[in-house]
Chain A
Amino acid sequence: MRHPFLAKQNILYYTVIWLFIIGIYSLVLFYSYEYPLNEALVDSVVFNGLFALLGLAYWFVVRYNTFDANQLVNLIASHLAAAGLSISAVIFLSITVLKESFAGDEEYLIFLEESVAWRAGLGLMYYAITILVYHLIRYYDDLRDRVESQSKLETMLRESELEMLKSQINPHFIFNSLNSISSLTITAPDRARNMVVKLSEFLRYSLGKENDQLNTVEEELNNILLYLEIEKVRFGDRLNIEKELDQESLEMKLPNLILQPLLENSIKHGIYESLEQITISVKAKVKKGVLRIYVSNEYDPNAVSKKGKGIGLKNVSQRLELIYGVPQLLFIEKTDKLFTVRLDIPQTKA
Chain B
Amino acid sequence: MIKAIIIDDEQLARDIILAYLKPFSNIEVVQQCSDGFQGLKAIQEVNPDLIFLDIQMPKITGFEMLELLENPPVVIFSTAFDEYAIKAFELNATDYLLKPYTEVRFAEAVKKAIEKIESQTSSQKEITELNETRESIGETIDRIVVKTGNKIHILALPDIHHFEAQDDYVAVHADQGKFLKQIRMKHLEENLPNGEFVRIHRSHIVAVSAIEKLELYEKDSYLLSLKNGKQLPVSRSGHSKLKEVLRY
Q: Are A and B physically bound partners?
A: yes
| Chain A residues packing against B (C-beta within 8 Å) | 171-172, 175-176, 178-184, 186-187, 233-236, 271-275, 303-304, 306-307
CB of A290 to closest CB in B, whole Å: 37
- Whether A234 and B10, one on each chain, are in contact in the complex, defined by CB atoms closer than 8 angstroms, is yes
- Whether A172 and B143, one on each chain, are in contact in the complex, defined by CB atoms closer than 8 angstroms, is no
- Residues on the B chain within 8 Å of A271, using CB: 58
Chain A proximity mask over B59-100: 1 for CB below 8 Å, otherwise 0: 100000000000000000000111000000000000000111
Report which of A176, A183, A275 forms a contact with B35, defined as CB distance below 8 A. Answer: A275
Q: Which 4 A-B pairs have the closest CB atoms?
A: A183-B16, A175-B80, A179-B99, A183-B12
- Whether A235 and B10, one on each chain, are in contact in the complex, defined by CB atoms closer than 8 angstroms, is yes
- Given A172-B80, A176-B10, A176-B80, answer yes or no on A304-B99 (Cβ-Cβ < 8 Å): no
CB of B82 to closest CB in A, whole Å: 7
Once bound together, how far apart are the Cα atoms of A242 and B235, in whole Å?
Answer: 58
Once bound together, how far apart are the Cα atoms of A172 and B57, in whole Å?
Answer: 13
- Residues on the A chain within 8 Å of B57, using CB: 272
Report which of A175, A233, A273, A306 forms a contact with B12, defined as CB distance below 8 A. Answer: A233
The yes or no answer to B11 lying at the interface (CB within 8 A) is: yes
- Whether B142 and A176, one on each chain, are in contact in the complex, defined by CB atoms closer than 8 angstroms, is no
CB of A310 to closest CB in B, whole Å: 13
| Chain B residues packing against A (C-beta within 8 Å) | 9-13, 15-16, 19, 34-35, 56-59, 80-82, 98-101, 140, 142-143, 154-156
Once bound together, how far apart are the Cα atoms of A172 and B81, in whole Å?
Answer: 7
- Whether A272 and B80, one on each chain, are in contact in the complex, defined by CB atoms closer than 8 angstroms, is no
CB of B87 to closest CB in A, whole Å: 16
- Given A179-B99, A275-B34, A304-B155, answer yes or no on A186-B19 (Cβ-Cβ < 8 Å): yes
Output the residue of A179, A271, A306, A307 with the most chain B CB within 10 A. A179
- Whether A273 and B59, one on each chain, are in contact in the complex, defined by CB atoms closer than 8 angstroms, is yes
CB of B158 to closest CB in A, whole Å: 10
- Whether A186 and B16, one on each chain, are in contact in the complex, defined by CB atoms closer than 8 angstroms, is yes
Closest to B78 in A: A179
Output the residue of B13, B80, B143, B155 with the most chain A CB within 10 A. B80
Once bound together, how far apart are the Cα atoms of A236 and B80, in whole Å?
Answer: 19
- Whether B59 and A275, one on each chain, are in contact in the complex, defined by CB atoms closer than 8 angstroms, is yes
Once bound together, how far apart are the Cα atoms of A195 and B107, in whole Å?
Answer: 26
- Whether A236 and B154, one on each chain, are in contact in the complex, defined by CB atoms closer than 8 angstroms, is no
Main secondary structure of the interface of A (DSSP, over half): helix
- Given A171-B82, A304-B154, answer yes or no on A179-B58 (Cβ-Cβ < 8 Å): no
- Residues on the A chain within 8 Å of B10, using CB: 176, 179-180, 234-235
- Whether A178 and B15, one on each chain, are in contact in the complex, defined by CB atoms closer than 8 angstroms, is no
- Given A171-B82, A275-B34, A275-B58, answer yes or no on A179-B154 (Cβ-Cβ < 8 Å): no
- Residues on the A chain within 8 Å of B12, using CB: 179-180, 183-184, 233-234
- Residues on the A chain within 8 Å of B140, using CB: 307
Once bound together, how far apart are the Cα atoms of A276 and B13, in whole Å?
Answer: 19
Report which of A172, A179, A274, A307 forms a contact with B13, defined as CB distance below 8 A. Answer: A179
- Residues on the A chain within 8 Å of B15, using CB: 183, 186-187
- Whether A179 and B19, one on each chain, are in contact in the complex, defined by CB atoms closer than 8 angstroms, is no
- Given A304-B154, A307-B140, answer yes or no on A179-B59 (Cβ-Cβ < 8 Å): no
Once bound together, how far apart are the Cα atoms of A202 and B80, in whole Å?
Answer: 20
- Residues on the B chain within 8 Å of A235, using CB: 9-10
- Whether B58 and A272, one on each chain, are in contact in the complex, defined by CB atoms closer than 8 angstroms, is yes
Once bound together, how far apart are the Cα atoms of A307 and B81, in whole Å?
Answer: 17
Output the residue of B34, B58, B81, B82 with the most chain A CB within 10 A. B58
- Whether B16 and A182, one on each chain, are in contact in the complex, defined by CB atoms closer than 8 angstroms, is yes
CB of A331 to closest CB in B, whole Å: 26
CB of B132 to closest CB in A, whole Å: 21
CB of B194 to closest CB in A, whole Å: 14
CB of B140 to closest CB in A, whole Å: 7
Once bound together, how far apart are the Cα atoms of A235 and B14, in whole Å?
Answer: 12
